[in-house]
Structure 1
Amino acid sequence: MNRTILITASILGLISIVLGAFGAHGLKALISVEAVQTFETGVRYQMYHAFLLLFVGGSNVISEKTKTKMFYLVIVGLLFFSGSIYGLATNTLTGFDFKTIGFITPIGGLLLIVAWLLMFIDFLKKKPIV
């Protein structure tokens, strides 16, 4: 599972850089300043969670069960949170009205919060090394 988590983290980081560059250079002429800022929020949270997965995949402190749960929570959370933000920010450029699925943004955020909470709980369960 660690290999899968690390590969996924690398891909998420790579996509974050590409989307960030696209937002900074390609979208500025196409959407409003507020929409670009919204898009950048999605990129930022995606990168934060790429770093989280890099930590999780490289950690020996987090249990395998928690790693697996966190992995899926982060993937679905990012798809819902950042994915919907990307859609909402670029809504004027597409034929699909992303406002109809805007309700998934907070669900994605909640899934990301739960992933962090699971890691915190896993840390609390560990016996301190004396």
Structure 2
Amino acid sequence: MTRTIWIIGTLGALIAVAAGAFATHGLEQAGDLHTAQIVRTGALYGLVHSLVLMLLAVLRPLVDRGLVALDVRLLMAAAGALAAGAILFPGSLYLYAATGWRPLVFVTPVGGTAFLIGWVLATLAALKRPRKR
């Protein structure tokens, strides 16, 4: 799962940087400020959470070795929730900006909720005492 989390993080970061550049150099210069802002919001949240996913992927082996005191199951549950958010939140904004298909706006809060759940789980991973091996 760690490799998958890393890949989701790196691809999410790649897409976020490309989307941000498109918002600034394409949409904004074409005068579509509203759509540019939608894409920029997706890019910001996508990039931040992609970097967090990469950090969690790096932390996992350190937790496994006992070098970082976090509950590994909660940490990986957090990674899963954050990965879902990193796909759903910016993905729905990018698709909405590209298509204008209104039902996509209902997917965005699902991604945002996944982010919140992921952050709660990450906090709990630090608060819960790791099991002794």
Structure 1 length normalisation: TM-score?
0.80
Once residues 128 and 80 of structure 2 are traced to their aligned partners in structure 1, the CA distance between those partners, rounded to angstroms, is 21
Identity of aligned residues (%): 30
Gap runs ≥5 in structure 1 = none
Question: Contact conserved, 2:71 with 2:128, CA < 8 A, in 1?
Answer: no
Please list every run of at least 4 consecutive aligned residues from structure 1 whose deviation after the TM superposition is greater than 4 angstroms: none
Q: CA RMSD in A?
A: 2.0
Once residues 4 and 104 of structure 2 are traced to their aligned partners in structure 1, the CA distance between those partners, rounded to angstroms, is 29
Once residues 102 and 18 of structure 1 are traced to their aligned partners in structure 2, the CA distance between those partners, rounded to angstroms, is 21
Q: How many aligned residue pairs are there?
A: 122
Letter in 2 for 1:53: L
Gap runs ≥5 in structure 2 = none
Structure 2 length normalisation: TM-score?
0.78
Say if 2:2 is the partner of 1:2: yes
Letter in 2 for 1:35: T
**1:102 pairs with 88, 100, 105, which one?**
105
Once residues 30 and 81 of structure 2 are traced to their aligned partners in structure 1, the CA distance between those partners, rounded to angstroms, is 32
Q: Larger deviation: 22-31 or 73-82? A: 22-31
Question: Contact conserved, 1:57 with 1:67, CA < 8 A, in 2?
Answer: no
Question: Contact conserved, 2:12 with 2:87, CA < 8 A, in 1?
Answer: no
**1:89 pairs with 84, 90, 97, which one?**
97
Would the alpha carbon gap of residues 31 and 98 (structure 1) be closer, same or farther in structure 2, given more than 3 Å must change? farther
**1:126 pairs with 102, 126, 129, which one?**
129
After TM superposition, give the deviation of residue 31 of structure 1 in Å. Answer: 6.1
Once residues 97 and 123 of structure 2 are traced to their aligned partners in structure 1, the CA distance between those partners, rounded to angstroms, is 32
**2:75 pairs with 61, 67, 70, which one?**
67
Question: Contact conserved, 2:95 with 2:104, CA < 8 A, in 1?
Answer: no
Matched residue SS, 2:28: coil
After TM superposition, give the deviation of residue 125 of structure 1 in Å. Answer: 1.1
